Amino acid sequence: MKRIRVAVVDDSAIVRQVVAEVLARAADIELIFTAADPIFAMGKMQDNWPDVIVLDIEMPRMDGLTFLRKIMAERPTPVVICSSLTERGAHVTMDALAAGAFAIITKPKLGVRQFLQDASSDLLGAVRAAAAANIICLHQAVTHAVQPAPALPARALSLPPRTLGKRLVAIGTSTGGTLALERILRELPAESPPLLIVQHMPEKFTAAFAERLDSLCAPEILEARDGDRVQPGRALIAPGARHMQLVRSGGGFAVAVADGPPVNRHKPSVDVLFRSVAREAAANAVGIIMTGMGDDGARGLREMKDAGAHTIAQDEASCVVYGMPKEAVRLGGVDEQIALDQIARRLLELA
């Protein structure tokens, strides 16, 4: 069995030690080296290139973001970011995801050893998924994202009546989804159909993600709050550590945002959103499941299809990780599979 070769680059000796201990317990993973900063790492990587890099962001001599950009430009390699669970850390990590980071593992400022041991399954899962990822798709997404965006039309304060009857669109995604969502939302006009989005992401990070997308896209992009109206020209992103559901409100729809146990190990969960959309909107909805690990959303998408909604899965060739779409197809919940670069246009046709 070919083992996954991993390098750990972090200026914290405790983090390097604990991550090394976690990786050593996995028979399919080989830790080839640790380094206190990217300068040391680059010297070691000349003769010993890893399959996956676990990377800190804030380090001396060269920060992790600069190192990540250098790697993606010269020799694209899956990178799992080990980021601080802070507001500043969240914004820097959004830049890392935009630069091509594969996944995020969060770490607190205190109690790092216990936290990393508790999160060992998440770390191992991220490393294994990174090793199997379609790095070509990830690199292409980065290249597309850095291209100048088309001029954004002025955001309408009120939308013409012809937009009010549009179907709402529910989207679920995980690993590889941040750049994929950015691509879709950048191609939508200001008068887009109502959008509800679950992107698996830690608490604090979804606010920074919504803020970034809102600065790039014509529709209004918000981190959802309980009671927010669902309306054309607006995309609501489920906040980290909260579930989001569609509910009826007056003559229209709103979202309910609340705490609750994880579903499919996730909070927010795509299944929670999709099931509520199947229940409340039925055929007046479009469901889209995109790149990501695991099976969250697969059952909910099947419920949407059974309720009369049109359902779409991102195709394997354009997915960074063809996990969630694959499970949705297996369960018979998908009307059509299409490439990422076709989703925005198809969404508008249907909605």
Cβ neighbours of 67 (radius 10 Å):
24
- Among 84, 192, 200, 310, the active-site one is 200
- Among 295, 296, 310, 318, the active-site one is 296
Q: For the residues of 298-336, what is the DSSP string, one character each?
A: HHHHHHHHHTT-EEEEE-GGG-SSBSHHHHHHHTT--SE
**Tally of CA atoms within 13 A in the half-sphere of 107 that contains its CB:** 26
Q: 292 by DSSP, 3-state: which?
A: strand
Tell me how far apart the alpha carbons of residues 199 and 21 are, in angstroms, rounded to a whole number.
30
Tell me how far apart the alpha carbons of residues 287 and 313 are, in angstroms, rounded to a whole number.
8
Tell me how far apart the alpha carbons of residues 219 and 73 are, in angstroms, rounded to a whole number.
31
First-to-last C-alpha distance (Å) of the chain: 47
Q: Buried b / exposed e across 231-251, counting CB within 10 Å, b at 16+?
A: bbbbbbbbbbebbbbbeeeee
Residue 215 catalytic?
no
- Among 84, 174, 269, 276, the active-site one is 174
Strand partners, 313: 289, 337
Structure tokens at 81: 């970011």
Residue 200 catalytic?
yes
Tell me how far apart the alpha carbons of residues 110 and 278 are, in angstroms, rounded to a whole number.
42
Does 268 sit behind a cis peptide bond, omega within 30 degrees of 0 on the bond before it?
yes
Q: For the residues of 227-270, what is the DSSP string, one character each?
A: TPEE-TTEEEEPPTTSEEEEEEETTEEEEEEE----BTTBSS-H
Residue 271 catalytic?
no
- Cβ-contact 127, 23 below 8 angstroms: yes
For residue 146, the 8-state DSSP code is T
Nearest to 41 by CA among 69, 116, 77, 50: 50
Answer left, alpha or beta for residue 111, where phi above 0 means left and psi between -120 and 50 means alpha. left
- Catalytic residues, which ones? 174, 200, 296
